[in-house]
Amino acid sequence: MSDKKFFTLSIVVSVIVFAVVVILNIIPKPDYTPPFVRHLPFLNACINGTCSLLLIASFYFIKQKNVSAHKKINISAFFLSSIFLLSYILYHYFSEEVKYGDTNHDGVVDIAELSATGGIRTVYLSTLLTHILCASLILPFILMSFYRGLNMQVEKHKKIVRWTFPIWLYVTVTGVIVYLMISPYY
């Protein structure tokens, strides 16, 4: 497959994933939620944290010129990120949105709850917004990075990874931060 065809495929896959996530926030939720679903946000945070560590290890190994370890670690990070995506979609299929500061779990952050959160809510929402923006934009570049790396297109791989790596790392780290901040409201 040519680079151009693979990039087009990457864009199509990314648009489909984004559309699925948007649709999951619009459609009505099922009447029954399996008990395991409540554990998925914690699982997702663990996966994100593990991916953060794997990405840092991958960076370390490529700086040491250990291409084999670099490749294995990146494949592991990609695999875990794919599991994360499936788990994220599953959670959002079954669960209503959790709102930061909604201490009584009625789906509304009233004036009293809003004032109780103070400025931390702004920090949370800013972190969440940048996390979502970066996560929605990075997927085609992650796919291209993998394609070029696995096909040993080293120079092309280096050019795209220069941008992909820090953004992907940001997404995984902020995923954990967002979870830690929102978890008291589950």
How high is the mean pLDDT of the chain? 93
Half-sphere exposure (CA, 13 Å, Cβ side) for 111? 0
d(CA 70, CA 51): 13
DSSP codes of every residue in 125-154: HHHHHHHHHHHHHHHHHHHHHHHHHHTT-H
Which domains, from first to last, does the chain contain? 3-17+38-185 (1.20.120.80)
- pLDDT reported for residue 21: 87
Residue type, 99: K
Phi/psi of residue 125, nearest 5 degrees: -65, -35
The SS3 assignment for 100 reads coil
- pLDDT reported for residue 118: 87
- Per DSSP, 35 falls in state G
d(CA 79, CA 73): 10
**Mean per-residue pLDDT, 130-148:** 92
The number of beta carbons lying within 10 Å of the beta carbon of residue 111 is: 7
- pLDDT reported for residue 26: 87
Q: How far is CA 126 from each of CA 61, 174, 177, rounded to the nearest angstrom? A: 33, 11, 12
Q: Could you tell me the pTM of the whole model?
A: 0.90
- pLDDT reported for residue 180: 97
